[in-house]
Amino acid sequence: MDLSSGSKEYRAFFVNGWLVLFIYLLAFAAGWLFVFLFVFSSALLAGALAILIVALPLIGLHGFVILQPNIATVLTFFGSYAGSIKTPGFFWCNPLCARRKISLRVHNFDTAKLKVNDQSGNPVEVAAVIAWRVRDTARATFDVSDFDSFVAIQSESALRQVVSTRHYDGDEQGANSLRGDLEAVSSLLRESIQKHVELAGIEVIEAKIAHLAYAPEIASAMLRRQQAAAVVAARVQIVHGAVSMVQMALEELARGNTVSFNDRDRVQLVTNLMTVLVSDSEAQPVLPMSHAEGGKP
């Protein structure tokens, strides 16, 4: 997007309003003095001066400006940009200039819940909270028709763009995740929105994901997939721990010469230990009973 042809903000001409007000009061006093001279002496020059001195300050009263902190005013002189005033206080500027006040304070808004396909093609619902403020009053006034609406529309466009380049849960390596890497997503979203609204002289302070979920039509299926993945991960950890415990038990028994095992006994012991350690329910040990020679069981 070419921004070189956009309007550029510069400081307007203005003076201290209290000083001009004092001069205007003196002019009013002088004007009424000439009025009295005209009434009592009937001097045409005194009458003309009285009208001129009284009329000019009345016209100039439109030039007084009162600005609160973080409020700016944009001046236009017969359709041409005449500068901006961003300093809080009481001022006087060209009374023939039209003025438009613009807030420089931080604005917050929530985007609507958007349905967007992530990089895997899964539909997700997403919404964001955007904090922004006007940085260049000239661009915000003259380069877009309504900068509030412009920011809202461009923010939704940037949000769609960011979400479509990432996976909800990450790819096969767990990278490019929307759900697991919200800080990186927020930073990328802020940069993307800043590029979209640069034309309007807007500064994006913060952009964060406020809502993120699978779309209702696939939410139940994705929940079952997540549950299955969690069960598999838990089983892997249980088996890994059980194998480590069996190996440790065999090493301890062999080190102390407590019991000697042949290969068949070792396989039986490993089988029983793995059954006890991996089973979901409590396992009951079964002890083999030997039979006496020639006896009955």
The pLDDT of 130-148, averaged and rounded, is 93
Q: Which of 87-91, 138-142, 258-262 shows the lowest mean pLDDT across its residues?
A: 258-262
pLDDT, one tens digit per residue, over 174-223 is: 566 887 788 888 899 999 999 999 999 999 999 999 888 877 665 555 56
Residues making up the chain, counted from first to last: 297
Q: What is the mean pLDDT of residues 68-93?
A: 93
150 pLDDT band, cuts 50/70/90, is very high
Per residue in 233-291, pLDDT (tens digit) is 777 777 777 777 777 777 776 776 666 666 676 677 777 677 766 666 565 555 454 44
User: C-alpha angle 79/150/139, rounded to 5°?
Assistant: 35
Matching residue, tokens 């359709």: 79
Q: How confident is the model at residue 2 (pLDDT cuts 50, 70, 90)?
A: very low
Percent helix, strand, coil in the chain, to 5, is 50, 20, 30
The Cα 130–Cα 155 span in angstroms is: 8
* pLDDT-based confidence at residue 116 (cuts at 50, 70, 90): confident
List the domains of the chain with CATH numbers: 15-102 (no CATH), 107-214 (3.30.479.30), 223-278 (no CATH)
Question: Rounded to whole angstroms, how far apart are CA atoms 278 and 136?
Answer: 66
Rounded CA-CA distance 137/282 in Å is: 73
The pLDDT-based confidence of 128 (bands split at 50, 70, 90) is very high
Q: 14 and 93 in contact (C-beta within 8 Å)?
A: yes
What the block records as the tokens of 197 is: 């609204």
When pLDDT is cut at 50, 70 and 90, the band that residue 4 belongs to is: very low
**Which pLDDT score is estimated for 104?**
94
265: which residues sit within 8 A by CB, 6+ positions away? none
Chain position carrying tokens 């003095």: 33
Nearest partner of 71 among 87, 82, 91, 92, judged by Cα: 87
Tokens 């069960």 — which residue? 231
More confident residue, 294 or 256: 256
H/E element, 178: none
Is the confidence at residue 125, as pLDDT, over 70? yes
Flag whether pLDDT at 149 surpasses 70.
yes
DSSP-assigned beta bridge partners for residue 108: 131
**At 11, which amino acid appears?**
R
**HSE (CB half, 13 Å, CA atoms) of 159?**
26
Q: What is the number of other CB atoms lying within 10 angstroms of the CB of residue 137?
A: 24
Give residue 226's pLDDT band: very low, low, confident or very high (50, 70, 90): low
Residue 138 pLDDT: 93
Confidence of residue 172 (pLDDT cuts 50, 70, 90): low
Report yes or no: 283 and 276 within 8 Å, Cβ to Cβ. yes
Q: Where are the alpha helices (DSSP H) in the chain?
A: 17-41, 44-60, 137-142, 147-164, 182-197, 216-255, 263-278
Quote the percentage of the chain above a pLDDT of 90: 36
One-letter amino acid for residue 184 of the chain: A
Global pTM reads 0.65
Helix (H) or strand (E) run with residue 128 in it: strand 123-134
pLDDT confidence of residue 1? 45
pLDDT category, 3, cuts 50, 70, 90?
Answer: very low
The confidence score (pLDDT) of residue 169 equals 78
Tell me how far apart the alpha carbons of residues 150 and 33 are, in angstroms, rounded to a whole number.
55
Please name the residues in contact with 88: beta carbons below 8 A apart, sequence gap of 6 or more: 67, 68, 69, 70, 71
**CA dihedral sign, ordered 214, 217, 222, 224:** positive
Average pLDDT, the chain: 78
pLDDT at position 20, please?
87
